[in-house]
Chains A and B, each alone.
Chain A
Amino acid sequence: MTDQFEPTIIGFTCNWCSYRASDLAGTARMKYAPNVKLIRLMCSGRLDPTFVLRALSSGADGVMITGCHPGECHYIEQNYKALRRFLLLRRVLNGLGIEPERVKLVWASAAEGARFAAETTAFVEEIRKLGPLNWGKADDGPQATDHDQPSFAHGKEMEVPA
């Protein structure tokens, strides 16, 4: 294990396109960053913005939302609704003092395993640069031990004296 900060990221995927893209990345044995843990939804339109807030306040450093490309939604147009919510959510995050870049929206069709893998890795790097999000980490909720989440030591960079 290196000392670098390993972000924890929750990924919300659409059942029809991006979860299948991640299946495809698996079948093709593409390697990508392991930091994103997926939750399968039927559609990116199912994503309640509060899920994102919940994840960020419960220890996630970033949230990746994936859906079908515009015009390719399995439910005709619900990904557009996801897009609208995403844009609003970023404004809300800004208001809360959280970098809006911690939430990312990625379109990936069922055929785009490579894209899914590349976007995942890229997002992990973006979050790594932003550093850990300590929102909610100070509350009295149960915390993971280092044993369970190795190398999740927070804020190495922040300890460096300026």
Chain B
Amino acid sequence: MTEKIGVYVCHCGSNIAGVVDVVDVANWAAEKLGHQGVVIARDYKFMCSSLGQELIEKDIKELGLTRVVVAACSPHLHEKTFRTAAKNAGLNPYLVELASIREQVSWVHTDKAVATAKSKAVVSGAVSRVIENRALDEIKVPINPNTLVVGGGIAGIQSALEIANAGFHVYLVEREPSIGGHMAQFDKTFPTLDCSACILTPRMVEAGTHPNITLLTWSEVVNVAGYVGNFNVTIKKKARFINEELCTGCGICQEKCPKKVIDDVYEAGLGYRKAVYTPFAQAVPNFPVMDKENCTYFEKGTCKACEKFCPTNAIDFNQQDELINIDVGNIVLATGYDLFDARRVSNYGYGRLPNVFTSLEFERLSNAAGPTSGNIVLRDGKTTPKSVGIIHCVGSRDRNFNNYCSVICCMQGLKFAHLVHERTGATVYNFYIDMRTAYKAYDEFYQRVLEEGTLFVRGKVAEVTDAARYSNERGKLIIQTEDTLAGKQRRIPVDMVILSSGLQPRKDAKEVGKLFGISCSMDGWFTEKHPKLDPVSTMTEGIYIVGCAQGPKDIPSSVAQGAAASARVLDKILQKEVALEPIKATVDQAKCSGCKICNGLCPFNAIAFIEDDKISYINPALCQGCGTCVAACPAGAISGTGFSNEQIIAQIDGLLLRNLEPAEA
């Protein structure tokens, strides 16, 4: 049967038409590809507009088109748009093929003749291919209404609460003993200087007590199987050595535990905790965990002080790690960030010079619940600094470390300046490259700090040293910097240096990404589906990313993203079912020789060998449609819908212009 093909060439305003002679492409297709079945070829200003779509729909109905080729942008942008248009006109959506002449042609080439010739070839390839396209039906699968949220920082908490409040169940998994994340470590939040705990802890309690939230702290996801709507997730609940049923959270065990350990998570290494501990007083849940590595009993076999004093016998030294298996329909990743390790910038002396602090250390230092009860003092624990230097962009916007801007450091540095000024009266210097105070009420805060008398030096700090050159530098830390506004070098002696360190992807972000089947950008942050229009979705349907896991951001943005992802999840849940792309491999039983070559190729275990019939079988529910088995089958028994051999070979011929009428040769 001869197909009736319509070819539509988009101008995309001047995006395509500026480089490609779209009229020539359309005319050429009508003339040269007529024998292939092209019955109409049009060009139009904006094919994706409603008028453009109507044009196609009208042609399908009136001319009885059986195939459609749209030469426009990348299929990743508008394939769905044109497939829906075809569907509206009664044509199977999989009989539409996109030929990208924007991202792959007009935007990357400059010579009009060359770009036009390439566009013709691309259209020709699509026309040849679309003839081989087959009508396909979307696969509909039901959606499990439960959701998994990974990471209990503010973004994850927000996301979990939104979904739970809408009446659906959420599993909130957190690696640490308590939810709260980095925000729980802060004293004040910019620009309003609300007390971080005051605004965070009510949310934590709400999440901890919500009937629709199952809280799994001290737990990690170890395996993810399935696909959107039907994920099967295995979670490792690490042994707490505390019976949660019996524990009342009274805290006696912590009091009696004889083993003191430096707390390098919650206290950022600036304070101590016991071997059995809750990271902070308002922890949710309020059950302690036993740190097996440091517990005297686990080390030496005696002690058990906690057990002796526990009034409810909740200590259980025999507890084991537990694997929990859950089914969920959607997953939100809110795994957060790591602080840039300031020791890498060794010219700033962190780790060598005692009075150089990182931002997280300073957060603890200034926190009323921190190791110094909020007294801003030097490393000796008692001296109040008379002068403090705050260095911005540590590890960020620096080609030696991270190229990106960590977004929060400027505001963080200003907040520190304010706190130091307010509590110690010290002279404060801020060393910045550019002051970035975008967003609501941020620049006003900057103005406020300026008026308070904080001194600002614009320039990248070269070095922090204790090598004094002049008498006023003795016993001080000297900040050597370029002052780009005054156009000279400065040496500024101070008592304390705070490094406004940047944010980094979690150390294991890549492995976590792999676990959930999503990718990381070059910098290591999780990649969103679209940087502007789809910032919380990922390329893997049903997996969303929020908060700093997606890129550096402040608290308001993290909260907004958490809520945004929840709206996406609820949208999916309320649709009750999801349509999957019908790109699957199937075995033609008549052709299968039973050689089993394909069996070992499938990483999803979708291929099984049926001993009775001596043939292989592909489970469509498990098949992800990669096509590796199709390529491997020596008998040509496996075919891959949407990407069949016939389609690809036709496209090769089309691109090489071997489909032109012989008379043209």
Contacts and interface: CB of A to CB of B under 8 A. Distances in A.
> Is any CB of A less than 8 Å from a CB of B in the complex?
yes
Nearest to B106: A26
A133 interface: no
B665 A143 contact: yes
B656 A34 contact: no
Contact of B625 (A32, A42, A143): A42
Contact of A117 (B108, B118, B514, B653): B108
Q: Per DSSP, are chain A's interface residues mostly helix, strand or loop, or mixed? A: loop
B104 A22 contact: yes
A49 B302 CA distance: 66
B649 interface: yes
Nearest to B518: A74
A151 to B, nearest CB: 8
Contact of B118 (A20, A37, A54, A85): A37
Given A46-B630, A117-B108, A60 B648 contact: no
A54 to B, nearest CB: 6
B28 to A, nearest CB: 8
B648 A51 contact: yes
Contact of A145 (B122, B601, B640, B664): B664
A71 B514 CA distance: 8
A26 B631 contact: no
Given A39-B125, A142-B662, A45 B626 contact: yes
Interface in A75-106: 75-78, 81, 85
A144 B632 CA distance: 32
Contact of A39 (B117, B640, B651): B651
Contacts of A78: 601, 603, 626, 628
A70 to B, nearest CB: 12
Given A42-B627, A46-B630, A77 B603 contact: yes
Interface string B501-528: 0000000000000100101011000010
With a 10 A CB-CB cut-off, give which of A46, A81, A111 has the most chain B CB atoms: A46
Contacts of B444: none
Contact of B658 (A20, A58, A145): A58
A74 B117 CA distance: 33
A42 B643 contact: yes
Contacts of B640: 42, 46
A149 interface: yes
A16 B75 CA distance: 12
Contacts of A42: 583, 625-627, 640, 642-643
Given A59-B656, A59-B658, A81 B601 contact: yes
B398 interface: no
A111 B404 CA distance: 14
17 contacts: A19-B76, A22-B104, A26-B107, A29-B108, A34-B105, A34-B111, A42-B626, A45-B628, A45-B631, A60-B652, A74-B539, A75-B604, A109-B522, A111-B519, A142-B659, A143-B665, A145-B665
Interface in B596-617: 601, 603-604
Given A42-B626, A71-B514, 11 more contacts: A10-B656, A19-B76, A26-B107, A45-B601, A59-B656, A60-B652, A72-B514, A74-B539, A75-B604, A76-B603, A145-B664
A37 B655 contact: yes
A39 B99 CA distance: 10
Q: Chain B, interface size: which category?
A: 35 or more
A54 B76 contact: no
B120 interface: yes
Contact of A72 (B110, B519, B656): B519
Given A10-B652, A23-B76, A46-B630, A144 B657 contact: yes
B104 A55 contact: no
Interface of B: 32, 74-76, 100, 102-105, 107-111, 113-115, 117-118, 120-122, 125, 514, 517, 519, 521-522, 527, 539, 583, 601, 603-604, 624-628, 630-632, 640, 642-643, 645, 648-649, 651-653, 655-662, 664-665
A47 B629 CA distance: 10
Contacts of A17: 519
A27 B103 contact: yes
A41 B624 CA distance: 13
Nearest to B659: A142
Contact of A10 (B114, B583, B655, B659): B655
Q: Which 4 A-B pairs have the closest CB atoms?
A: A26-B103, A46-B627, A45-B628, A75-B626
A150 B104 contact: no
A58 to B, nearest CB: 5
B656 A142 contact: no
A150 B117 contact: yes
B519 A27 contact: no
Nearest to B511: A71
B108 A30 contact: yes
A30 to B, nearest CB: 6
A75 B125 contact: no
A75 B645 contact: no
Nearest to A27: B103
Interface string A55-72: 100111000000000011
A3 interface: no
Contacts of A162: none
Contacts of A75: 603-604, 624, 626, 628
A154 to B, nearest CB: 14
A25 interface: yes
Nearest to B652: A55
A54 B652 contact: yes
A31 B120 contact: no
A109 B115 CA distance: 25
A43 B628 contact: yes
A39 B662 contact: no
A150 B114 CA distance: 8
A110 B519 contact: yes
Contacts of A26: 74, 102-104, 107-108
Contact of A37 (B121, B601, B628, B659): B121
B652 A34 contact: no
B362 to A, nearest CB: 33
Nearest to A81: B628
With a 10 A CB-CB cut-off, give which of B521, B626, B662 has the most chain A CB atoms: B626
Contact of B631 (A48, A60, A74): A48
With a 10 A CB-CB cut-off, give which of B107, B115, B630, B645 has the most chain A CB atoms: B107
B658 A142 contact: yes
Contacts of B628: 43, 45-46, 75, 78, 81
B658 A150 contact: no
Contact of B76 (A10, A20, A109): A20
Contacts of A31: 108-110
A150 B118 CA distance: 10
Contacts of A20: 76
Nearest to A32: B108
Nearest to B660: A142
A101 B307 CA distance: 70
Contacts of B100: 38
A58 B652 CA distance: 8
B656 A55 contact: yes
